[in-house]
Structure 1
């Protein structure tokens, strides 16, 4: 089930700094919509005209014009819309264009941290299966807290394998990313004895080093529902 979008066109437009940015945003959405597969699909033939209409050669699917303009707008969104709204603007462009997994992967691999963040935020609205999980794994290997927070959203909750998801939770704790960023934490943590073991071991290490145990760590342990030795 696709989660509800955290942004709307009107909501994002209201956050933009001026009329120039709002006009740019509106044009960018139009460009992205033209690139969507549904917009490029040829119209079905009209049976009433089938016998009388002149026959014209049909271009193969690969000959349909592409619309790279929206991808340029994806890259330059921060410059035109401001950094505060750029994540939402870029994510909406991806959704409007119905970007496929190949396009998302290319934009992620070639993009800046901000562009990668937008790809991660858009994943749950565009990719139904686990094929984009390598992008989440890549983000979790970084030390960029905003990228990590974007990586542990609804797509990770739905598609990361248990081992990878547990390490994502630990990565948040190590990096100082609040566990409120982890989508469906309570559901996935419930009854997870291995996660409880990993969390308890992390808590024990902090105690041995004379460091405080974060509230998030204790909360995650509680969510597992698995008895552990009190750290």
Structure 2
């Protein structure tokens, strides 16, 4: 066994189907150590897929880093969906990236050249592989897209740790606008706590929607109470009844994942 299968961190996975909903892989824990992630995967993969994953991890551990124009483990990233099933591909790719000890340069190359699915895996792998803020350009790039699954991956633990307050607030607003559930935003309670500027931005956004006759996203009422400096632990908030909306909002449905901007639309 390689060290990649025993190093404990947290990982998150989302579905790997083109145009699919912004939902986590139902077969893989939302937040787990890589050891547990590997155990859950092997318990659910068929014999051929398990053998392929073990070989891919051993190969990545034996030949980490970059070798030539493309490393063998990068080819395995491209095969993950076909070999292990799209519902497991994000988690498989995270394990391979970790086994390969991909540094920021390698992660940036995979992100720049990869499909949307491979870009998601890079974002999910950041908390395990990059200790500082040097990979933030990848998060910032993902936050400029309208690919809801890429956005969901971008607001994970790495962004919670390193994204500047101004950018993080705009990321929360982007989730509200595109329909990415705010439950995808890592450490939302901590980062939103007593944030008066975020409260102002949320209020302005709600006012704009109301003035335009459009419904206010229900998730806004999940975030807004967190910004109260006197607030204790989050309590359930009852939002007003949703207004009728006949497709005039301009924002995609929460379960619609539009293609990403430019090259981000590739999928495997």
Structures share fold, TM-score greater than 0.5: yes
Work out which of the two has the higher radius of gyration on C-alpha atoms and give 1 or 2.
Answer: 1
Match of 1:13 among 42, 54, 57: 42
Aligned to 2:10: 4
Contact 1:196-1:221 at 8 Å conserved across structures: yes
**Which whole-Å CA distance do the structure 2 matches of 1:67 and 1:22 have between them?**
24
Q: Root-mean-square deviation (CA), in Å?
A: 2.4
Match of 1:118 among 116, 121, 140: 121
Q: CA deviation at 1:218?
A: 1.4
Q: Which of 1 and 2 has higher RCO (CA within 8 Å, sep 6+)?
A: 2
Name the SS of the counterpart of 1:214 in structure 2: coil
Q: CA deviation at 1:192?
A: 1.1
- Structure 2, unmatched stretches of 5+, are 1-7, 12-31, 231-238, 241-268
Contact 2:196-2:227 at 8 Å conserved across structures: yes
**Which whole-Å CA distance do the structure 1 matches of 2:210 and 2:223 have between them?**
17
Task: Note the alpha carbon deviations across 1:148-182, whole angstroms, 9 max, x for none.
Answer: 00000000000001111011000000000000000
**Which whole-Å CA distance do the structure 1 matches of 2:174 and 2:102 have between them?**
29
**Which whole-Å CA distance do the structure 2 matches of 1:31 and 1:121 have between them?**
21
Q: CA deviation at 1:15?
A: 2.8
Q: CA deviation at 1:219?
A: 1.6
Aligned to 2:3: none
Task: Note the alpha carbon deviations across 1:108-151, whole angstroms, 9 max, x for none.
Answer: 00000000000000000100111111100111111111100000
Q: CA deviation at 1:21?
A: 1.2
Aligned to 2:52: 24
Name the SS of the counterpart of 2:180 in structure 1: coil
**Which whole-Å CA distance do the structure 2 matches of 1:211 and 1:138 have between them?**
28
What TM-score does the superposition give when structure 1 sets the normalisation length? 0.81
Report the CA distance shift for 1:175/1:126 in structure 2 as closer, same or farther (over 3 A).
Answer: same
What TM-score does the superposition give when structure 2 sets the normalisation length? 0.70
**Which whole-Å CA distance do the structure 1 matches of 2:220 and 2:122 have between them?**
28
Contact 1:95-1:125 at 8 Å conserved across structures: yes
Q: How do residues 36-185 of structure 1 correspond to structure 2 at under 5 angstroms?
A: 36=64, 68-185=71-188
More helix by share: 1
Contact 2:10-2:127 at 8 Å conserved across structures: no
Residue correspondences, number: 202
Structure 1 stretches (4+) deviating beyond 3 angstroms? 64-67
